[in-house]
Amino acid sequence: MTDKITLVEAVNQALHHAMTNDPDVVVLGEDVGVNGGVFRATQGLKEQFGFRRVMDTPLAEALIAGVSIGMATQGLKPVAEIQFMGFIFPALEQLMCHAARMRNRTRGRLTCPLVVRAPFGGGIHAPEHHSESTEALFAHIPGFRVVIPSSPKRAYGLLLAAIQDPDPVLFFEPKRIYRASKQVVPNDGEPLPLDICFTLKEGHDVTLISWGASVQETLQAAKQLEETGISAEVIDLASIKPIDYDTILASVQKTGRCVIVHEAARTGAVSADIAAEISYHAAVELEAPVERVTGYDITMPYYRMEQYYIPSKGDIINAVNKTMEQA
């Protein structure tokens, strides 16, 4: 295919490809079949693969996770959709206490090749439970991979890799940019590596690290900074767990400055871990403390206030300027 497609269309394309090429891949979740998913990520799957492989479930997230774990341990590769990240918590006991531990509990006899997809993040004027970013909660749990794509190409390649991975992967999709831009995404079935971050722009004055929808504002900030003579390197973390510290440390050791940008609340965030690792391993090279541009420690506000919560291009530029002032 040579047409340009959106991030959500890339998810759909990856699901089509995986299901076509591997009869063990099944899809389940609320409204994923007849309706094609609330965001249309699973559109057309039921028509093509039938109700045995594309299952509309009751509104019961614990059931979705539990059934998926059963299927995964018995040879299938379920891709479950949780309609919004804010509704994943009824499934947490199943995911945390069973999926994440299956390999360890059975001393490697059983693995749990399960993918849980969930849209996350704010910016689409939705009410509560529809806008949060709790990726750090899942990154904290041993046994999961946590993956967040930020472009159509990475959505396609990373989702294929997640489906092939033998262990449970939480695949969080930034819905604010589901339809924000288009890319040509060859439908070649090529997975992307799950263990690396992606350097989107090279630079030598400051390293900007982000993930999800915030990568957009981070790239815009880098572009504007370039016009004022500040050269920013931009890294899309993509794999939230595990984190590719080789790339991050090499970048910060080169630039001497780092700003981490994300929508999730500040306390206990993934950025705190990254800042700690950088402070430890690049203490000699750092010219300024690591800055963090984050959401606030509050429930994601309703839509009229959303714009004040989500890190903006201006917030990122201010943080970069702060690090540049320190010498």
- How many residues at the interface with ligand TPP, by CB under 6 A? 5
Task: Determine if 214 is a binding residue for ligand TPP (CB under 6 A).
Answer: no
Q: Residues 21, 22, 48, 59: which binds ligand TPP (CB under 6 A)?
A: 59
Residue placing its CB nearer to ligand TPP in the complex, 30 or 167: 30
Q: Within positions 169 to 208, which residues make up the interface with ligand TPP, using CB under 6 A? A: none
41-67 burial code (b ≥16 CB/10 A, e <16): bbbebbeebeeebbbbbeeebeebbbb
Looking at beta carbons only, is 84 or 198 nearer to ligand TPP? 84
* Nearest distance in Å: CB 175, ligand TPP: 14
Catalytic residue among 130, 140, 204, 281, which?
Answer: 130
CA separation for the pair 122, 301 (Å, rounded): 9
Instruction: Report the residue number, 29 or 149, with the smaller CB distance to ligand TPP.
Output: 29
Binding mask 235-274 for ligand TPP (x = CB under 6 A): ----------------------------------------
- Least Cβ distance, residue 37 to ligand TPP (angstroms): 11
Cβ–Cβ < 8 Å for 310, 295: yes
Q: How far is the CB of 95 from ligand TPP (least distance, A)?
A: 15
Residues 235/200, Cβ–Cβ less than 8 Å: yes
Structure tokens at 222: 């880098």
User: In sequence order, which ranges of the chain are alpha helices (DSSP H)?
Assistant: 7-21, 45-49, 61-73, 92-94, 102-105, 135-139, 152-164, 214-227, 245-255, 270-281, 303-309, 313-325
By beta-carbon proximity to ligand TPP, the closer residue of 87 and 245 is 87
Is 30 a binding residue for ligand TPP by CB under 6 A? The answer is yes
Q: Are 45 and 15 in contact (CB under 8 A)?
A: yes
> Using an 8 Å Cβ cutoff, are 203 and 234 in contact?
yes
Residues 6+ apart with CB under 8 A from 226: 203, 232
Smallest gap from Cβ 16 to ligand TPP, in A, equals: 23
Amino acid making up residue 195? D
Instruction: Phi first, then psi: give them for residue 227, nearest 5 degrees.
Output: -70, -20
Q: Which residue is nearest to ligand TPP (CB)?
A: 87
Task: Specify the DSSP class assigned to residue 37.
Answer: -
Among 69, 70, 256, smallest CA distance to 168 is for: 69
Closer CB to ligand TPP, residue 83 or residue 210?
A: 83
Lookup: tokens for 130: 């529809």
Of 66-95, which residues contact ligand TPP (CB under 6 A)? 83, 87
What's the DSSP call for residue 96?
I
Our answer to whether residue 98 is catalytic in this structure is no
- Kindly state whether residue 57 participates in binding ligand TPP, applying the rule CB under 6 A: no
- The smaller minimum CB distance to ligand TPP, of residues 170 and 194, is found at 170
- The rounded distance, in Å, linking the Cα atoms of 19 and 17 is 6
- Closest distance to ligand TPP from the beta carbon of 92 (Å): 12
Smallest separation, CB 298 to ligand TPP (Å): 21
With beta carbons less than 8 A apart as the criterion, state whether 194 and 166 touch.
no
Q: Which residues bind ligand TPP (CB under 6 A)?
A: 30, 59, 61, 83, 87
Kindly list the catalytic residues: 130
